[in-house]
A = this chain, B = another copy of it.
Amino acid sequence: MDGNKKQAIQEDTAARLRAAGLRPTRPRVALASLLLGRGHRHLTAETLHAEAAKAGVRVSLATVYNALHQFTEAGLLRQVVVDAARSYFDTNTGEHQHFFCEDDGRLIDIPGDAIAVSHVPAPPRGMAVRRVDVVVRIKRG
């Protein structure tokens, strides 16, 4: 990727962060560029940290965790809970669901209009539905 394009992406990213009420600091711009640059992805804090390192961005793991949570709060990411051991973050914030491969821990998107959940009962009085998550657990065989 040439320098001009990279800079353009970063300015775009900075604008998104500012719009979300987050200071476009060097670490945040770098992480957000990595995250939001290349289509939809599912990744963990460790994954992102490693990817940043490979891209020559030196950020602490604490900063990666901070950024992931702040981005999620800001609606730039969505957190996916499928495995008790680790937390996944999803750059696809649109309505969709997931296959979760129990063999290798991989997540695969299921378009939101492909799947339908019907007859969800009303929640207990005083409670509001925040989201309906569907996880289709799959395995080899």
Contacts and interface: CB of A to CB of B under 8 A. Distances in A.
Interface of A: 79, 81-84, 86-87, 99, 101-102, 108, 110, 114-121, 123-124, 126-141
8 contacts: A99-B127, A115-B120, A120-B136, A123-B136, A130-B139, A132-B137, A133-B136, A134-B134
B124 A114 contact: no
A42 to B, nearest CB: 14
Q: How many copies of the chain does the oligomer comprise? A: 2
B127 A137 contact: no
A138 B120 contact: no
A102 B130 contact: yes
Nearest to A106: B124
Given A99-B123, A126-B140, A127-B140, 16 more contacts: A84-B86, A84-B87, A99-B127, A114-B119, A114-B121, A115-B120, A117-B118, A117-B134, A124-B138, A127-B138, A128-B138, A128-B139, A128-B140, A129-B138, A130-B137, A131-B137
Contact of A116 (B81, B110, B119): B119
Contact of A129 (B81, B84, B132, B137): B137
The list of the 10 closest CB pairs from A to B, nearest first, reads A127-B138, A123-B138, A130-B137, A84-B87, A133-B135, A131-B137, A116-B118, A132-B136, A117-B117, A128-B141
